[in-house]
Structure 1
């Protein structure tokens, strides 16, 4: 009887009245006010409303059913295939849509529909992967800002590959606590490259100086990233740095001067194709010849051996308590050790360049320490 009454009534009702009827029937349906026999008739009535020529009626129906469980799939999918104003409330809120529905909607829907998908309270890894693969930067930012979105490492990588040059994407990626260290380092590098390309910076300090400054900042940020990255991610991070050409002598000097022996060991193991346990044993207790041989096996010039030996020796003494020192003091101690070594003073030009680099690291460490003391005093 419900269906017959509705069919006769809708021919004389205006669109506003039909919209009110859609809300009422939807509300009664989701509240369970129909008996078993009437429920099938109510579903048939709702189905007829899908064909109403007025979008107001279909929108009222969508809003009434958007957050309700147990709505027939055929009704929900028809609403999702309607205009954005009608589809989006359902896409955003319906608990009855499964991953298959959402992945399909992500593939064929508009950007507005994709925004509705990423606004859902919870998103599975599969749905997040679909969004990461096809959505524009604004939608991907919304995905990253959704704390209820489960995102796999491969999807983070795709986001970085597709939109890594977008500043908003970089910021949203870096704000994720579960971002893999490799992707975080890629975003650090992308941010540095964007900074180096700024016309204002290049006009102020020159193109070469801008690139040097941003490269140094990226190296520092990468070294700090390695300090806080989970131990299980370090080998993957090191391999990423190797493949991208970032495991340079300068970077390794920065690592050893700051005492990140775990990262240094992983890097040297990767470059020299030596077991990390063996590398760690050499760094912890090996003689100068063994350390130098390791440096050479890693592809560094033999002239770098004395510098790395000096750094390793200083950190051994600090770790053993033989030479009390604050971390920011260690680079200067390494420099003094290098200067005191006659062999290092007589080395080739690349040794002098490396020594100048160590001086710069010492200045950076002293400045960082001064800034930290100033912040503590100001707090």
Structure 2
């Protein structure tokens, strides 16, 4: 599927690389065009963990491979939760305006109490309103976006990952939860869902640009100490992000983009620091081959999350900012209705919780119909920390249906 349709999937309708061309249902209601679409996916995953000499739990140290040896079986959704996406658009007094409400659903039962596994009887699955935003603009002014939506940083990395329609690595083998990791923490951090106001300039000759502000993220772990977490609304300044890109067509179409993110973080000691990051993404198609590459560097963020709520972006005592970087290389080949691909990614943290996470994913994706894609993936992961290393391999088999 083309990138433009993939973006439509996550930014207001549902579609992903590897699936066929999907059109959401639409109908007229007065001057408004209403749209409805979404996806449902499910995967059977077998994960084998070799904890090696890291027996204190991999995820607590930002090592994403399993920390407990053994095999685990699960049935859950993949990197994309199931979704129901609603849109409403119209043209009024020279402006194109729109509204989008996209709700995502996890298949596995949620364990919010932290007292058991998500396989508990009579437990409920999770619901997440990731996108609630409005848009307005025209060809002369560009487009203003206001509301809760995916961020700009690392967005192209996740949109073009072959595992976006699949599963890739899981966050916890025995507790798959709301979503798998895909390549999160293995080459790029999560783009996150941010309350934001953005201005996208009119596209000119393939060039595009977006600048905006977002509700600032907490940069430290939940807990006590001099850097105890404060509410995002208490920050003195907003966060800022921007993105530039250039896309071209022809015999070898492609895309190159770069983003920048920055926000101040107020520490309870009276000092201040920053979350800051930049990245670059590139993709080119040569006949039936697709090649993609990505690189990022960040301060005050972990390899997995921009704000570092789970994995700290700042030292709890000294306030020192974490330093992280990562990259991935990916190639895929399509023949008929089938695509095969390989993604190799690596992320590293250097200061607070030194860790190196490496992932290789091999995937086969077959469009059984224009709406239904069947797939199989094999992922091999390794985490190295200051106290040891562990390895994980996972095989998933499943399907995703877009409507």
Larger RCO (CA within 8 A; separation ≥ 6): 2
**Which structure: greater strand fraction?**
2
The higher radius of gyration belongs to 1
TM normalised by structure 1 equals 0.23
Report the TM-score, using the length of structure 2 for normalisation: 0.22
